[in-house]
Amino acid sequence: MAALGKVYLIGAGPGAADLITVRGARLLAQAEVVLYDALVTPEMLALCPQAELISVGKRSGQRSTAQTVINQQLVECAQRYRMVVRLKGGDPMLFGRADEELRALEAEGIEVEVVPGITTALAAAAATRQPLTRRGVARSVAFFTSSTAPGEPDHPALPATDTLVQYMGGREAVGTATRLLAEGRRPDLPVVVVENCSRADQRILRLTLSGLGQGLDAAEGPVLVMIGEALQLRQHQPV
C-alpha cells in the first residue's frame, strides 16, 4: 500500500492575500492539491499556481458541498498526493468545522498539521480601529454564530460578555438584536458591521442595536457584527 500523504489545515485569514501567515503562504506554494473554501479569494489562490484546485465552498443559503463529502475528498487526496492543503477562510479552529475534518483524517491514520490564520474578528477590529476590549469598559469578548448543526436549537443562549462578535451575521444578527433588546440592552448600544473584511470591497457600518436590521438590508458578502460599549467611537476617531 502506498504511503499516505500529509494534510495541512491552513487558515487563509480574513480575505486579503497578504494577511495569510508566512508559513501558510510557503506551504501553499509547495502543495500538490488545494481544497479551498468559498471565501478564499482568487488572489490567495494565485499563491499556489502549481497545485490542483478543488472548490469545496460552503455558503449559508447557497448550494454548497456537504461536509461529509469534503471529509471523504480529503481522505482520497491524502491517498493520492504527498502534500494536501485544506485552505479555510479565517482560522481553521474557529467556526471552520476543523473538528469533523480532523476526526475523518485521524480515523484513517493520516498525518495532519494545523496552521493558524487571522480570524475575521481581529481583522475587523483592526480595520475599524475599534478594540474589542477597553480598560474600564469591556474585559470579556465572545465569538458566536447562529449557524447550527442538525438537531441543535436554532437560538442558543447568547453569551453574557461585554463585547459580542457574531460571525456569519447577516440576517441572523437581526434576531440577535431583538433578543438583546428583550433582555434589556439599551437601544443605542454601539454596533459595528464589517462586510467583506480586508478586501477591496470592504464596507464598514456604524449602527445602534435598534437600527441593526436596517443596516443589513444591502449586505451581500460575508458579514461580521460587533456589539458592545467598547465599540463606541472615540473622540477624534475617523468614522
Query: Catalytic residue numbers?
Result: 37, 58
Crossing angle of the two packed helices 98-107 and 67-80, in degrees rounded to 10: 40
